[in-house]
Amino acid sequence: MELAEIKESFEFFDDWEDKYRFILEIGKDLPDMDDDYRIEKNLIRGCQSQVWLVYAIEDNKLRFQIDSDAHIVRGLLKILLVAINNLSPSEIIETDLETLFEELGLMAHLSMSRGNGLRAMIGKINQIAENGAS
């Protein structure tokens, strides 16, 4: 799935419930993380649910694996991965992920704790990119 497809799908939906169902559906496509990576050091702090993040840098591209124990969060993570996986650190830094979620109409519909969790995920990804760019 490409980011353009996700944006097009969100434009098609008339109400939040349709968007919510779509997020749940694409979350099913997020690959499960191996239990060996579901450890304390890979948890992202600030998320209401448990979210684990691991990454590798190959050929100056960041490759992320991310997972959650919450279905809606898995869908949000899928959108994040589509937007940033296999980009260079500098390309990730240049990507305004919070604006992407606002453009999709998601930030206004997420609870405060989910929104804060999403911002924590974006912050962690940006921190990884900044460290990889140096």
Nearest Cα to 62, choosing from 49, 79, 40, 81?
A: 81
Q: Is 10 a residue of the active site?
A: no
Centre a 10 Å sphere on the Cβ of residue 89 and count the other Cβ atoms it contains. Answer: 19
In the prediction, which pLDDT does 134 show? 54
pLDDT tens digit sequence for 16-75: 899 999 999 999 999 999 999 999 999 998 878 999 999 999 999 999 999 999 999 999
Structural domain total, the chain: 1
Kindly report the CATH number assigned to the domain that includes residue 70.
3.90.1010.10
Supply the range of the domain harboring residue 15: 3-133
Which residue in 30, 47, 51, 87 is the catalytic one?
Answer: 47
pLDDT tens digit sequence for 101-130: 999 988 888 888 888 899 999 999 999 999
